[in-house]
Amino acid sequence: MEQNTAALILDNKPDTRAETYPFAAAIYTPKTQDRSALNVFAREMVAAGVRVGGLVQEVLRDDDGRLRGMNAVDVETGARAPIKAPLPDKPQGEVCLLDTAALTDTSAVLRRNIADRLDLIIVEKFGDQEQRGAGLSDEIFAAIADGIPLLIAVPQSAREVWDERTGSMGETLEFEVAAFHRWWERVSG
């Protein structure tokens, strides 16, 4: 596992806003009741005229509330990519499997957002793949290195890995829309 990825990148980028470290981890736990805060915040930022990109998750459930899958949603365009689907040999909605190829394909969204120098990139989430340095990891740290404000959902269970990979730079936020707005005011002002 790479250590202090963000610190190494930022130290080697002379012309970034590294002094302010404009990225934040929105920490959530299994007890976090409302996981829609990133989606709500993204919509509010778009409505406010902020050029926002990134990927948020859309959980799909059947009429009985059973998990049917998950989409990665492009914040900028609204395009959806299925990244989780039920396992074919399991009863409906019991277990969903991450499609790592589809997740990797979504990295093009973040690369486009970085190339377009958007005002803000939102990523849900620093999951198992990213904790291992795969998935969207390269794009997440490229956005940080380029000084583009980044807000990312990080499960409490991955907090130590996140801190290690970022050198404990950036901010840590409660998983709530009001905290995201306060952070945005600080980094955008």
Which residue range forms the structural domain that includes residue 34? Answer: 5-56+107-188
> Bigger pLDDT: 148 or 61?
148
CB-count exposure of residue 14 (10 Å: 0-12, 13-18, 19+):
exposed
The model carries a pTM of 0.85
Is residue 64 one of the residues assigned to a domain?
Answer: no
pLDDT in tens, 34-44: 889 999 999 99
CATH (domain of 33): 3.40.50
Decide if 60 contacts 93 (C-beta within 8 A).
no
Is residue 141 one of the residues assigned to a domain?
Answer: yes
Q: Which two tokens stand for residue 126?
A: 């620093």
Taking 80 as the threshold, does the pLDDT of residue 15 lie above it? no
DSSP state of 155: E
pLDDT in tens, 53-90: 999 999 888 898 888 889 999 999 999 999 988 766 65
* pLDDT score of 1: 44
Is residue 68 one of the residues assigned to a domain?
Answer: no
- The structural domain count of the chain equals 1
- Spell out the residues 6+ positions from residue 104 whose beta carbon is closer than 8 angstroms to its own: 134, 135
User: To the nearest whole percent, how much of the chain has pLDDT over 90?
Assistant: 68
Helix (H) or strand (E) holding 150: strand 150-155
| Radius of gyration of the chain measured on its C-alpha atoms | 16
